Amino acid sequence: MMIGLLGLGAGIAAIAGLGWQAPEVPRVTISNVAAAAGLKHRTIYGGEQKNKYLLETTGCGVAWIDFDNDGWQDIFFVNGTRLEGWPKGVGREEPPISRLYRNNGNGTFTDVTRAAGVGRTGWGQGVCAGDFDNDGDEDLFVTYYGKNLLWRNNGNGTFTEVGEKAGVAGLRTRWGSGCAFIDYDRDGRLDLVVANYIDLDLKTAPTPESGPCLYKGLMVACGPPGLQGAKNILYHNEGGGLFTDVSAKAGIPATSGTYGLGVLTSDFDNDGWTDIYVANDSAPATLYHNKRDGTFTDIAAEAGAAYSGDGKPQAGMGVAAADYDGDGWLDIFKTNFSGDTSTLYHNLGTKLGGLVFDDVTFPSGIGLNTRWLGWGCGFPDIDNDGWPDILLVNGHVYPEVIRLNNEAGYPQRKVLYQNLRNGSFRDITEKVGGALIEPTASRGAAFGDYDNDGDLDVVINPVNGTPALLRTDSETGNNWLTVRLQGTKSNRSGFGARLRLTAEGRTQINDARSGGSYYSQNDGRVHFGLGMATRVTRLEIAWPSGTVDTYNDLPVNRLIVCKEGDGGK
């Protein structure tokens, strides 16, 4: 887009003229503390050396969820299985199950899966969290190749699976992928959007040999091109624990995008209504614009957010949103296949008559990396300077690539881009080093502050490996504020609320949201880095109900809980 790029270019020149200097590499340390923290289970997903079907490649998501409401973020890991299954019997290995870890508040976690009753096996995929029944505790929705599960939090440390009863289990033949709770009609109840990947029938699916399907000379799992793409689903929350599939009525199937994976919900056009962005694999991405009447229209192509800047569909995996340049519009980051770049879409807003994004991947410096195959991603303000950075986790799709002398390999390092505060980013992965360099066959990644120390940590769910918990320790001296929302008229989780924070004359925005990244759920609290600001001048929360709460002159370096309607009191 001309205007965006010209604006950006002029901006860089002007700042440079005033003696602008790139910020120093932040003094942060990132360590993998998973084992010491007690996260020791193994995620199982498909064959370790060779995959017959694409089903064995997608991996699992992970969620930050404070399921016991103690103020500490707990972790839910989705788990998978193998094609050959896990035969039952004496002496046989236990099948892999999803895991729930309670945060002990001292840097360690306890596996409470069995006590909580959430240990299910199967081809687990994505996870999202939200208080769908507005009872004050967070529930979980987990997608599967097979029937999806809705875990209602009983409020006593246990969960009850109510997916079938609630009407969101779906069909056994369906391949659920990314998901998010969203109050799309602002009725105060969380609805549910579920992406679906492929209508996969293993009886007729091509194998690497029958396809035949080759990647750099290697026989690999076929697809998704050539396989039947699946349709996304929108469930409306009717209350009373019941959902209705309103996909057709809402216009959800009317998109040229298919093979949905990551799901992101945000108000991209600043109209107060939450939109939905879906990263599609090998297909144009979908941007469901909320028409405020219970229906959506896919505007991704005409908004410039469907394809790469050169008009090609990309293998979208993970998605994240943030206002990285502070212009008041939420931008989109999307991870893609190796040999391609991740994509950064700069939101130009609606001044051209409709919502318009500009692919700034190359001018922003994101386009320099083409070796990594990205999955989970986020915009964590890793150094709390008030400018969202970008972190993505990587790993190749095909385990067969270990036979290639390819530097990127099957397990891959992460990438951390520092926001240079001028619309561009710098890859500082090797400068920060540590756990970022460790290769992992990563899939899901969720961002949150598990130790409540004010900097954002990352939990990663790999395929056929043990989790990583990347703890960030900062020596920047920068300040922060974390906001936990509690809706009253609006949904209890506060999802869809727009937060607008001003400190030292600079305003940042973000939305409270469910889902995001790849198949994962970030910390539901909204985190702001504040740089050296010692007070927050103003925090405005626009709730989905229409209520606007305003808080003035807030202290920093703390978590605040904002209950709808209490603003300014």
Partner 1 sequence: MVLASIIIAITAITLTQVPSPPQAATSTKAREVQELREGLALQQQQRDAEAIAIFREVLRQRPDFAEAHSALGYSLGRQNDFAGAVSEFETAIGLQPTLQEAHFRLGVMYWLSGEFVRAITPLRAAVKLRPGHLESHFYLGRCLQQTGNLREAITELRRAATLGPKLAEVQSALGGALAAAEDFEGAEASLRRAISLRPDLIEARNQLGLALIEQRRADAAVTELEAARRLAPTDRATLHNLGLALMQKADYNAAIASYESLLRLAPDDAEAWYNLGLAFKYKDDFAAAIRAFEKCIALQPRLQEAHYSLGITLLQQGVIDKAIDAFRGAIIAKPDFAEAFYLLGTALQQKGETGEAVASFRKAIAIAPLSPQYHNTLGNALRQQGDLAAARAEFAEAARLNKLKTDAQAALFATNLGIQRLNEGRISEAIERLTEALRLDPDNATARRYLELATRRTNRSGKSGKTGR
Site residues for partner 1 per CB under 8 A: 1-3, 5-6, 204, 206, 210-212, 214, 216-217, 222, 225-228, 256, 283-284, 301-302, 304, 306-307, 309-313, 341, 352-354, 356, 362-365, 367-371, 401, 403-407
CB of 363 to partner 1, least distance (A): 4
CB of 445 closer than 8 Å to CB of 517: yes
CA angle, 471 then 477 then 479, to 5°? 85
CB of 206 to partner 1, least distance (A): 4
How far is residue 126's CA from residue 180's CA, in Å, rounded to a whole number? 9
Q: Which is nearer to partner 1, 403 or 563 (CB)?
A: 403
Q: Which tokens in the block code for residue 230?
A: 């699946």
Q: Which is nearer to partner 1, 9 or 555 (CB)?
A: 9
Q: Which is nearer to partner 1, 166 or 195 (CB)?
A: 195
CB of 284 to partner 1, least distance (A): 8
Q: Which is nearer to partner 1, 4 or 61 (CB)?
A: 4
How far is residue 195's CA from residue 265's CA, in Å, rounded to a whole number? 12
Name residue, tokens 């198949």. Answer: 519
Closest to 535 measured CA to CA, from 550, 551, 552, 556:
556
Give the residues across from 442 on adjacent strands.
462
Q: Which is nearer to partner 1, 291 or 506 (CB)?
A: 291
Q: Which is nearer to partner 1, 77 or 329 (CB)?
A: 329
CA torsion through residues 163, 75, 274, 230, sign: negative
CB of 230 to partner 1, least distance (A): 14
- CA neighbours closer than 13 Å in the CB half-sphere of residue 284: 20
Q: Which is nearer to partner 1, 21 or 405 (CB)?
A: 405
CB of 2 to partner 1, least distance (A): 4
CB of 308 to partner 1, least distance (A): 8
CB of 45 to partner 1, least distance (A): 24
Q: Which tokens in the block code for residue 125?
A: 């995929």
The three-class DSSP label of residue 14 is helix
Name residue, tokens 């600079």. Answer: 506
CB of 517 to partner 1, least distance (A): 24
CB of 205 to partner 1, least distance (A): 8
Closest to 149 measured CA to CA, from 181, 131, 127:
127
How far is residue 218's CA from residue 402's CA, in Å, rounded to a whole number? 10
Closest to 260 measured CA to CA, from 290, 289, 225, 230:
230
Closest to 410 measured CA to CA, from 457, 373, 381:
373
Q: Which is nearer to partner 1, 113 or 258 (CB)?
A: 258
Q: Which is nearer to partner 1, 110 or 370 (CB)?
A: 370
Phi, psi for 219 (deg, rounded to 5): -75, 125
CB of 334 to partner 1, least distance (A): 16
Where residue 252 falls (left for φ over 0; alpha for ψ -120 to 50; beta otherwise) is: alpha
Q: How far is CA 519 from CA 7, 140, 212, 263, 469, in A?
A: 34, 13, 29, 7, 17
DSSP H helical ranges for 350-509? 429-432
Q: Which is nearer to partner 1, 35 or 352 (CB)?
A: 352
Q: Which is nearer to partner 1, 5 or 548 (CB)?
A: 5
Q: Which is nearer to partner 1, 301 or 559 (CB)?
A: 301
CB of 379 closer than 8 Å to CB of 516: no
Contacts of 151 (CB under 8 A, 6+ apart): 118, 139, 140, 141, 142, 159, 160, 161, 162
Q: Which is nearer to partner 1, 335 or 369 (CB)?
A: 369
Closest to 196 measured CA to CA, from 283, 262, 97:
262
Q: Which is nearer to partner 1, 72 or 362 (CB)?
A: 362
Q: How far is CA 156 from CA 108, 470, 487, 525, in A?
A: 21, 29, 21, 22
Q: Which tokens in the block code for residue 108?
A: 């360690």
Q: Which tokens in the block code for residue 194?
A: 């579920």
Q: Which H, E and C letters describe 474-499, residue by residue?
A: ECCCCEEEEEEEECCCCCCCCCCCEE
CB of 96 to partner 1, least distance (A): 30
How far is residue 368's CA from residue 364's CA, in Å, rounded to a whole number? 9
CB of 99 to partner 1, least distance (A): 35
CB of 283 to partner 1, least distance (A): 8
CB of 71 to partner 1, least distance (A): 43
- In the chain, what is the greatest distance between 2 CA atoms, to the nearest angstrom? 74
Find the helix or strand (DSSP H, E) in which 264 lies: strand 260-266
Q: What is the DSSP string of 153-165?
A: E-SSS-EEE-HHH
